Structure 1
């Protein structure tokens, strides 16, 4: 084609129009070839799309079938699932109830220990006071006995003098 163009340009005769016709034919052929290839591509694209849609349909059916099998497997694997769930729920409720009771128990235990400690301290204080009282009474009795003996001695010496 390049050769034809150069020949057509040199001669400037009637061959120029033949070259233009050839070029138009070549352009038409190229366009029709491109169109044919486009149509072929579109046809193959449609074939692939149909195959994909067919496989998607099969995949959806398979997914449904697997879901049914899964449900049957779940029921089969744990026939006491509801009972287990109910017992677990009761355990959770018992745990929730135990927590504040445990806290209350610890608080009261702490209060008991504090009260017992205060009681023991007061008991020791009382014991010390009782000991002190006994010492004071013993000392008081000793002093009174001493005084009585002195008085008795005074009386004896006054009797003797008489």
Structure 2
């Protein structure tokens, strides 16, 4: 009767333990390689089936695609025109401001970003909420959200064209 022992083997780079049987008198390199290849096959099959529920497979991010300004509803475009007038900005910047809005929120008033504190048509972060005429209370009002976005853009980039150019290079502003 042959004695055999069971051991746990740690295989890198993933943390998986596979039991292998170790026979006291059978430590030839060929047998160990054979067991290792069997374990490799088992590990490959496990990752292909993805039986682990705790860590889903991450898919690569899709490349950024420019959104058309046509996605912005007409009433939001009208609100942008009103905000431009209220803020004393040139109406020649309308298309640049509209383009940034389309990329940031697709013209959805009060929209929230689930991964950060960004909110509104221009996705202002919590630190910039005060740029809205009534602070956080302005979210939900298209004209006031546009005013906050215009104040942010002109305060940081000094023109809508500069902000748009930055956005095109970095996909954020």
Q: Same fold (TM over 0.5)?
A: no
Structure with max Cα Rg: 1
Structure scoring higher RCO (CA < 8 A, sep ≥ 6) equals 2
Higher helix share: 1
Higher strand share: 2
Give the TM-score normalised by structure 1.
Answer: 0.23
